[in-house]
Amino acid sequence: MKLILKRPLAFFDLETTGTNLGSDRILEIAVIKLHPDDSEEIKTWRVNPGMPIPLESSLVHGIYDEHIANEPFFEALAQDIADFIGDSDLAGYNSNKFDIPMLMEEFLRAKVNFDLENRHFVDVQNIFHQMEQRTLKAAYQFYCSKDIINAHSAEADTRATMEVLLAQVARYHGTEWEDKKGVRSIPVVGDVEALHKFTNLSKPVDFAGRLVYNEDGEELINFGKHKGKRVEDVFDAEPSYYSWMMQGDFPLYTKRKLEDIHKRWNAKKAVERQNRPQQPKPQQPVQQNFEKKDYQKPQYQNNRPNNNYPKKDDTPAKPVNDDMLKLLADKFKKG
- pLDDT tens-digit readout, 133-178: 678 888 999 999 999 888 788 999 999 999 999 999 999 999 999 8
Distance CA 262, CA 41 (A): 40
Contact 47, 27 (CB under 8 A): yes
Contact 258, 235 (CB under 8 A): no
pLDDT of residue 308: 56
Distance CA 245, CA 251 (A): 10
Reduce the DSSP state of residue 40 to 3 states and report it. strand
pLDDT of residue 2: 86
Reduce the DSSP state of residue 25 to 3 states and report it. coil
pLDDT of residue 331: 67
Low-confidence ranges of the chain (pLDDT < 70): 133, 281-282, 284-318, 320, 328, 331-335
pLDDT of residue 148: 87
What is the separation of C-alpha 122 from the centre of its chain, rounded to a whole number of angstroms?
Answer: 24
Distance CA 63, CA 76 (A): 20
Q: CB-based burial of residue 197 (10 Å sphere; 0-12 exposed, 13-18 middle, 19+ buried)?
A: middle
pLDDT of residue 200: 85
pLDDT of residue 182: 85
pLDDT of residue 294: 58
213: left (phi over 0), alpha (psi -120 to 50) or beta: beta
Reduce the DSSP state of residue 45 to 3 states and report it. strand
pTM: 0.67
